[in-house]
Amino acid sequence: MEARDERRLLRLQKQQAAVKLLIINELGFVPLSKTGAELLFELISQRYERGSTMITSNLPFDEWTETFGTERLTGALLDRLTHHVNILEMNGDSYRLGQSRARKAQART
């Protein structure tokens, strides 16, 4: 990695660590590279007990290892994320699928 890219990455990490609320949407939809998983862990570690983080995922925690690659990294990440946390589990029909069906029903009438 070039020095310029490294400075840019450090600046981005600092900015993301400082925001009051970080929202990570659909975590686990695509597996992370080893570097991506390590960078996300570092970000979560920097934010730990300093800022609010909201994560949405369709995966139960026991499947997060597939996204992060190793049990050790996944365990350490979940340890930080689940300390002082409110977990909301929601089951139901897809909002997008419901909208799509409603549009199709309106088009038929």
Backbone angles phi, psi at 57, to 5 degrees: -160, 145
DSSP secondary structure of 79-104: HHHTTT-------S--HHHHHHHHHH
| Local confidence pLDDT in tens for the 109 residues of the chain | 576 777 888 888 888 888 899 999 999 888 889 988 998 998 988 888 888 899 999 889 999 999 999 999 999 999 998 988 888 888 877 778 888 888 888 888 7
Q: Which homologous superfamily does the CATH classification assign to the domain defined by 1-107?
A: P-loop containing nucleotide triphosphate hydrolases (3.40.50.300)
User: Cβ(4)–Cβ(35) under 8 Å?
Assistant: no
What residue type is 67 in one-letter code?
T
pTM: 0.72
